Amino acid sequence: MKAFSKSVMIVCAYLAGMIVVGSAAGLLVKWLSEPWLIQEWLNSGVPLWPPDFKHDAWMSILYGSIYATGLWSTVLGIRHLAYKYIPLRNFKSIALHIGLIAVGAVAVFSLLVALDPAICLLVKGEPPPDDKPTVIITVVSMGATVIIAMIMYSIDFYRDMRRARQTALVAELRALRAQINPHFLFNTLNSIAALVHKKPDEAEYVVEELADLFRYTLRASQYPTVSLADELTATNKYLAIENARFRDRMTVIREIDNSLLNARVPSLLIQPLVENAVKHGVSKTEDHCGISLKISRQDESILLSVRDTGPGFFSTDPGEVFVNGTGLANVRDRLHLHFGTEATFTILNDGVELAFPYRVETDKPLEQLPELSTDKQ
């Protein structure tokens, strides 16, 4: 019943649109061809309603309605069929769609011109006048058809580009999930193996943290954004695992604005940045290394930085840094997918700094992971 009601509403809206478009087209044709006649009609005192098709102005409106209805129906019909066989993938496919519509519109227009004497005879009771502005009707009708088709396809192409953007974003997230650094996994397993006999309780704890982290990764990859609280919890899991490996050689300092915990951030954003600090900072020196994670708000943006006291980057040129790994490049690309030019990704000598818009809505929240026990970090 609801489907039937919806169909009736669509048909009524379509017919109403045809009346409006047709009337406007008829008035425009008459105004372009004989503006003085429209003005004379409006000043003559002749009732504007009900329609009197014996009057030339109403006859032009009728012709405009017929031509507009035929051409508009052609646009919608061919567009519907073309979508089934020619997906919109590029501007070439749009041009092909519009070309098919133009061919169909010419065919329908030719048919209407051929039926013109019969329509005029049926409605007005006499053949059409010799001076009927056929050229004006042709130009306006065909021009309106092409313009409307271009507008419709521009909207469709923009919508498809947005859909492709979302698809690319999901693909990036899945790629990142698959690209979790295998060295991290191998090193964690080695740490667990070393702890099994000496400290079995701690080994069990590391296994649980690793399982939690991978569960979060699987869940987070289903959402474009997650809460900052979820991301920090997962990052703490990762740091707890690395702490079991490096112990006193690594210290983490967190400066987090707690008012931002409900902010939405791209999923799997912070952990790759921290992992980069561990990999290129802590593991590259035998001395103690400190990692700083700072998140604050500036106006309507979130500022996020991850720095370490290790050897640092050999260059601050993104082109040189990103070529040696995919973690940071993925974070940068996903930031740009989410926020476009509103996001920035800066390489520093001792880490990275990000800035992106502060947002608190969208996306279903994840089930938050349990907090880490402070006595085990």
Does pTM top 0.85 for this prediction?
no
Is residue 50 reached through a cis peptide bond, with omega within 30 degrees of 0 on the bond before it? yes
331-372: per-residue pLDDT in tens? 888 888 788 889 999 998 889 999 999 988 654 444 444 343
Number of domains in the chain: 2
Q: Which CATH number fits the domain that encloses residue 304?
A: 3.30.565.10
Same domain, 163 and 310: no
Which is nearest to 281 in space by CA: 271, 294, 273, 290? 290
Residues 139 and 255 both lie in one domain: no
Look up the domain containing 19 and give its range: 2-169
Q: Residue 329: its pLDDT value, please?
A: 82
Q: With both helix axes pointing from N to C terminus, report the angle between 2-33 and 35-43 in degrees, rounded to the nearest 10.
A: 110
Q: How far apart are CA 322 and CA 210, in angstroms?
A: 27
Assigned domain for 174 exists: no
Predicted confidence (pLDDT) per residue in 163-208, tens digit: 777 777 667 656 665 665 566 677 677 777 877 877 888 888 888 8
Q: For residues 261 and 273, what is the distance between their CA atoms, to the nearest angstrom?
A: 18
196: its two tokens: 């099994």
Q: What are phi and psi of 198, to 5 degrees?
A: -80, -45
φ/ψ of 288, rounded to 5, equals -65, 140
Do 102 and 243 fall into the same domain?
Answer: no
135 is a domain residue: yes
Asked if 67 contacts 109 with a C-beta cutoff of 8 angstroms, the reply is yes
Same domain? 122 vs 233: no
Of 2, 121, 113, 5, the C-alpha closest to 59 is 121
| Nearest one of 304, 305, 315, 323 to 349, comparing CA atoms | 315
pLDDT above 60: residue 24: yes
Q: Hey, which residues does 357 pair with through a beta bridge?
A: 301
pLDDT number for residue 356 = 95
Three-state DSSP at 270 gives helix
Residue at which a domain ends, from 124, 142, 169:
169
- 136 and 187 in a single domain? The answer is no
